[in-house]
Amino acid sequence: MIKKILFGIINTLSVLIIVVAVFVLCTVIFTRSGDVPSVFGYTALRVTTGSMAPTYDVDTLILVKKTDPAQIKENDVISFYSQDPALDGAVNTHRVVKIRQENNAIVFVTKGDNNNVVDSYDVPGEYLIGKVVASSNKLGKFSRLVANPLIFIPVILIPLIIILFSNLFETYRMAKQIAKEEEEAAVEEAIRKIKARQKEKENNSQP
């Protein structure tokens, strides 16, 4: 019984992992070109430069929450689509050092913690992706490794597929075994009833 429950739990977890992976993959595929993928308003990004060190070192994974520009305050760290021609619209993550109104629109002045001067190009509110709400350097390093196909395929994808098919096979085998046991139990019950009726007839036929 415990074995059946254990295999059921493992099989369910495997299916859930596959479903989540497919959901994330579809989100990435159907995200408009130039935008960052977002799941339930959250985006995971990996820091690739040292401009925010030591707050966020290179390879740190940051979690960015979609936020209304009006809710951003000075000293918040935000991710945005940079207007710097050198970055060609790439995503940047810097700290807000000043907020001003320009033509009834919010504009952010940003600066990297490790930079000596503010960014050359301000950030209009419409280019805001969101506010950084969490970070992890260890997860960032892990995500960089996982992103490498030479590691992802043999270390994660193949074992996951093996586990999934193994669990499906075990589930099928157990279902077949249970069906066999139920059939045998039904036959034994039918035989027991027949014997009981025969015994009852024999008892009734005695003088």
Q: By the 8 A CB rule, do 131 and 76 touch?
A: yes
Say how far apart CA 181 and CA 165 lie, in whole Å. Answer: 24
User: pTM here?
Assistant: 0.62
**How far is residue 132's CA from residue 137's CA, in Å, rounded to a whole number?**
14
Q: CA-CA-CA-CA torsion for 196, 197, 200, 205, nearest 10 degrees?
A: -140
Provide mean pLDDT across the span 51-78: 94
Mean of pLDDT over the chain: 79
Tokens in use for 63? Answer: 């979690």
The CATH-assigned architecture of domain 34-137 is Ribbon (2.10)
| Model confidence pLDDT, tens digit, residues 186-206 | 777 767 777 667 766 666 665
> For residue range 121-147, what is the model confidence (pLDDT) as tens digits?
999 999 999 999 999 988 888 777 766
Q: Please classify residue 79 by burial: count the beta carbons closer than 10 Å to its beta carbon, then call 0-12 exposed, 13-18 middle and 19+ buried.
A: buried
| Distance, CA of 27 to CA of 19 (rounded, Å) | 12
Q: Where are the domains of the chain?
A: 1-30+148-207, 34-137
pLDDT of residue 87: 83
